[in-house]
Structure 1
Amino acid sequence: LQTLTAGKQVEGRCTGKLNLVAGCDFNTGNYREYARILKEFGIPNTILADIAESFDSPCDGSYHVYPGGTKLDDAADSINGKATITVGPYATPKTFTWIKDNYSGKHVSLPMPMGIEKTDAFIMKLSELFGKPVPESLKAERGRAVDALTDSHQYIHGKKFAVYGDPDYLLGYVSFLLEMGAIPYHILCSKGSKKFEKEMQALLDSSMYGKQGNIYMGKDLWHMRSLLVTDPVDAMIGDSHGKFAARDAGIPLFRFGFPIMDRVNKHRYPLIGYQGVVNMVTEIANKFIDIKDETCEDRFFELMR
């Protein structure tokens, strides 16, 4: 951005656009979900940088060099935008500082919009920045997401989870689990900061379901494996690297985040927004139902769950 925008700032000029910096996120479904939400609002935007088509282009019989992406002219002109949002404060601290010092318009740093509460905050900030009411379509989406949580609550409530990954994703996972009445029991971050640890602890303290949570900073998945043996949980959430520990512990691993190298098409399913809520709760609840069906006695094998 520093190179592309050099000499491009024009005093008094405003593109009227929102600049969105999505942080360290390789889920192409998330980028499409951001774009769709902004389209529902009718907010012109530049995503810096949009990897959706570059990393997930269609198979149409022709080879395209460098498909998709963000146009360089749009990136250069982003310095004259109306507002800039960086998502994922622990992935973008230096970027956000530089943008505050150099970009026109308003500047906002937000957590990844995972779970109902954090998605609400993202939606309301868009409404505030551009003076637009929340679209009825997004209100309906929220209602369907809440309905999905309610329908799935009985299968997830009270379950203990071990989660690991990058700080921004961890805050999203834990916020979502607390909304479901699940217990984020082991929270492991190999590269977090004291600031992150304090924020995570505050998040745990905000809910009765977070009281049992334990935060492990600067630890790796070998440490997690030991925790799973000495203090078991019901499931794990994280990327593919956790599959060995999950196998040893005999628990399911819900593959969210990056990288996911042992399953197909996961990068196409958004984890952010209200649709991300539905995707996560559906995968988790259905897996627990599968386990029930696979392990129960014949007399408890029911058509309905």
Structure 2
Amino acid sequence: MLNYTPKEITERTALRINPCKTCQPVGAMYAALGVHKCLPHSHGSQGCCAFHRMYLTRHFKEPAVATSSSFTEGSSVFGGGSNLKTAIKNIFDLYNPDMIAVHTTCLSETIGDDLNALIQDNPVAEGKYVVHCNTPSYKGSHVTGFTNMVSGFVNYLSVKTGTPNGKVCLMPGFVNPGDMREYKRLMKAMKVEFTMLPDTSGVLDTPMTGKYNMFPEGGTKIDDIKGLGDCIKTVALGIQTSEPSAETLKKKCGVEFKALPLPMGVEATDEFIMTLGDISKEEVPFEIEEQRGQLVDIMLDIHPYTYGKKVAIYGDPDTVLGIAAFALELGMIPKYMLTGTPGVAFERSAKELLAKYAVEDCTYKADADLFLLHQWIKNEGVDLLIGGTYGKHIARAEDIPLVRMGFPIIDRYIHSYMPLVGYKGGIRMAELIGNALMDYQDSHCDEKDVEIVM
């Protein structure tokens, strides 16, 4: 399929080929699903909402529920105010959520609908809430949309009463439910009281019970979001994704924050655990120390297969940086780091990470696409690809093993249940990376070189 990708690289400013991102409403919808009894609402056409739901459903293999303002030609000309008013009434009458989280689309943004005014002019019953965020698809990415929705929850709901609740506000970044479960396990082990916003565990990884429940038991409670203003601190994981929302909470309620990279690999997880220890004043329990030791032991075991291997990593900015940091800990060379999300923070962090390990001759770029990544590989190959499903054509065209990590993964199962964060997540990443390299060696070596014990 990609055999005709040219090696010659030309500057492109108005064209993306095989984008390394999707649009803002996908991230906003995902964040809204992480709030208990909250129904995401797409203020635009039905087709937009259907696409965003499909994207999430394909990745998580779970139904992503959402509603739409169902714009028609009339709405597109005269505005969608009446559509939103009717939608809010119908949604509360038919589905009875506690909250509707409205995100905009390209169409409503281009028209210029004032969501804040529309929502203020449409009062709802006591105990019911409508919040919104602006998510034009022609700016940012799904990561930006996720950030904007989290900030929207804070802006609408969080209040400071003046009485600290002793909790930590944990902003998890754009990660899977399996990662969020691992965060909660580590927080509880470190005896830190917390509220995590959002929390998609128990929503997009629910068990099969034989009964459909539109609003599963998981998700952050609305009262807990209100209480974020009384938290003693915010721990924002994934600097590009979570720091803006932590800054929003600080400006509104005065809650100080500490922004950390996603805790992927040894050093970043160490920093996360020590931050929790500074808050709780508790010793690190043996179960966490044991898992750290297991991860280090595994890294030593597979080191002969990972050392010096060149890897291309693509996906969401914080995830790419977290995987790259772990790759460096394994002695690998992150030859290419690429994200479709715009922002100078990614390139600055990539530069600092490479300088820290004194690794040179690596290329990194934000607001880029997978066509460019393929061109880089055409000019100088790599031993491994790490990223989502949309890199599989590059892997096939260039005969490079692909390790699926990040978002979206739409051609495999189970991944969203398994963490990549924490020491447990590091063990998972080491398994995937080590096995991919060893499987490739098995399938490409001469018959006489096939080893039973590698």
- Matching of residue 158 in structure 1 with residue 308 in structure 2: yes
Instruction: Please give the secondary structure, in 1, of the residue aligned with 2:433.
Output: helix
Cα distance in 2 for partners of 1:73, 1:35 equals 19
Q: Cα distance, 1:49 vs. partner?
A: 1.3
Q: Is the 8 A contact 1:119 1:273 kept in 2?
A: yes
TM-score by length of 1: 0.94
Q: Cα distance, 1:190 vs. partner?
A: 2.6
Identity between Structure 1 and Structure 2 (%): 35
Amino acid at match of 2:182: E
Q: Cα distance, 1:104 vs. partner?
A: 5.0
Cα distance in 2 for partners of 1:227, 1:21 equals 34
Q: Is the 8 A contact 1:81 1:104 kept in 2?
A: no
Cα distance in 2 for partners of 1:199, 1:186 equals 14
- Matching of residue 279 in structure 1 with residue 428 in structure 2: yes
Q: In structure 1, what is the equivalent of residue 191 of structure 2?
A: 42
Q: Cα distance, 1:230 vs. partner?
A: 1.8
Q: In structure 2, what is the equivalent of residue 304 of structure 1?
A: 453
Cα distance in 2 for partners of 1:212, 1:181 equals 15
Q: In structure 1, what is the equivalent of residue 160 of structure 2?
A: 9
Amino acid at match of 1:75: I
Matches within 5 A, 1:22-61: 22-25=172-175, 27-61=176-210
Q: Cα distance, 1:145 vs. partner?
A: 0.7
Matches within 5 A, 1:90-169: 90-103=240-253, 105-169=255-319
Give deviations 1:121-147, integer Å, cap 9, x for gaps. Answer: 101011112222211211111101101
Q: Is the 8 A contact 2:339 2:365 kept in 1?
A: yes
Cα distance in 2 for partners of 1:228, 1:211 equals 17
Instruction: Please give the secondary structure, in 2, of the residue aligned with 1:52.
Output: coil
Q: In structure 2, what is the equivalent of residue 230 of structure 1?
A: 379
Instruction: Please give the secondary structure, in 2, of the residue aligned with 1:20.
Output: strand
Amino acid at match of 2:155: Q
Cα distance in 1 for partners of 2:277, 2:243 equals 24
Cα distance in 1 for partners of 2:172, 2:315 equals 17
- Matching of residue 242 in structure 1 with residue 391 in structure 2: yes
Amino acid at match of 2:160: Q
Q: Cα distance, 1:281 vs. partner?
A: 0.7
- Matching of residue 257 in structure 1 with residue 397 in structure 2: no
Q: In structure 1, what is the equivalent of residue 43 of structure 2?
A: none
Q: In structure 2, what is the equivalent of residue 217 of structure 1?
A: 366
Instruction: Please give the secondary structure, in 2, of the residue aligned with 1:162.
Output: strand
Amino acid at match of 1:34: Y
242-251 vs 87-96, which moves further: 87-96
Q: In structure 1, what is the equivalent of residue 441 of structure 2?
A: 292
Q: Is the 8 A contact 1:149 1:281 kept in 2?
A: yes
Give deviations 1:59-104, integer Å, cap 9, x for gaps. Answer: 0122222111111111111211122111111113431211122335
- Matching of residue 269 in structure 1 with residue 418 in structure 2: yes
Q: In structure 2, what is the equivalent of residue 80 of structure 1?
A: 230
Gaps of 5+ in 1: none
Cα distance in 1 for partners of 2:253, 2:389 equals 38
101-110 vs 279-288, which moves further: 101-110
Q: Cα distance, 1:274 vs. partner?
A: 0.3
Q: Cα distance, 1:177 vs. partner?
A: 0.8
Instruction: Please give the secondary structure, in 2, of the residue aligned with 1:90.
Output: helix
Cα distance in 1 for partners of 2:266, 2:239 equals 19
Number of residue pairs aligned between Structure 1 and Structure 2: 300
Amino acid at match of 2:303: H
Q: Is the 8 A contact 1:166 1:192 kept in 2?
A: no
Q: Cα distance, 1:192 vs. partner?
A: 3.8
Q: In structure 2, what is the equivalent of residue 193 of structure 1?
A: 343
TM-score by length of 2: 0.64
Gaps of 5+ in 2: 1-153
Give deviations 1:243-297, integer Å, cap 9, x for gaps. Answer: 1111111111111111100001111110100011100010111121112222222
Amino acid at match of 1:129: I
Q: CA RMSD in A?
A: 1.4
Q: Is the 8 A contact 2:234 2:246 kept in 1?
A: no
Q: Is the 8 A contact 2:388 2:407 kept in 1?
A: yes
Cα distance in 2 for partners of 1:93, 1:108 equals 8
Cα distance in 1 for partners of 2:289, 2:178 equals 20
- Matching of residue 184 in structure 1 with residue 334 in structure 2: yes
Instruction: Please give the secondary structure, in 2, of the residue aligned with 1:16.
Output: coil
Cα distance in 2 for partners of 1:259, 1:66 equals 24
Based on CA coordinates, which of the two structures has the bigger radius of gyration? 2
Cα distance in 1 for partners of 2:365, 2:431 equals 28
- Matching of residue 19 in structure 1 with residue 169 in structure 2: yes
Q: Cα distance, 1:212 vs. partner?
A: 2.6
Q: Is the 8 A contact 1:46 1:74 kept in 2?
A: yes
Cα distance in 1 for partners of 2:451, 2:186 equals 39
Instruction: Please give the secondary structure, in 2, of the residue aligned with 1:92.
Output: helix
Amino acid at match of 1:222: F
263-272 vs 216-225, which moves further: 216-225
Cα distance in 2 for partners of 1:248, 1:185 equals 19
Cα distance in 1 for partners of 2:372, 2:266 equals 31
Amino acid at match of 1:42: K
Q: Is the 8 A contact 2:311 2:382 kept in 1?
A: yes
Q: 1:182 to 1:44 in 2, by over 3 A?
A: same
Instruction: Please give the secondary structure, in 2, of the residue aligned with 1:152.
Output: helix
